Amino acid sequence: MPLHFGPRENPPGIWVNLPTMKTDFEAMLNKYLARIQASSRPGRTLSDHWQRESTQPATKESDPQWRTLLGEENKDGQTR
């Protein structure tokens, strides 16, 4: 299995293998999606307790940062 990152000697630093990280992350998400779909029934909804304990609302600071990361555009057609 290829490594996700490692040390680099010249110049000093680290290297990051983003395509491998992306592939592995998507595989992990798909694995758990399949598990959830196999153990769920149609019409099932998340419990209020889970939603309260497992989610965090967006903040004025985090929302624009996520939109920029995801490449979303604002009303003027500009990437945020």
26/16 Cα distance (integer angstroms): 17
What is the tens place of the pLDDT at every residue in 15-27? Answer: 888 999 999 999 9
Q: Model's pTM, two decimal places?
A: 0.47
Q: Which residue has the higher pLDDT, 12 or 68?
A: 12
15: Cβ contacts below 8 Å, ≥ 6 apart: 5, 6, 7, 8
Q: Is the pLDDT of residue 80 over 70?
A: no
The residue type found at 56 is Q
Q: For position 76, what pLDDT does the model report?
A: 57
**Structural domain boundaries in the chain:** 5-54
**Local structure of residue 73 (DSSP, 8 states):** B
**Local structure of residue 14 (DSSP, 8 states):** E
What is the tens place of the pLDDT at every residue in 25-67? Answer: 999 999 998 988 888 888 888 888 988 888 877 787 888 877 7
71/60 Cα distance (integer angstroms): 17
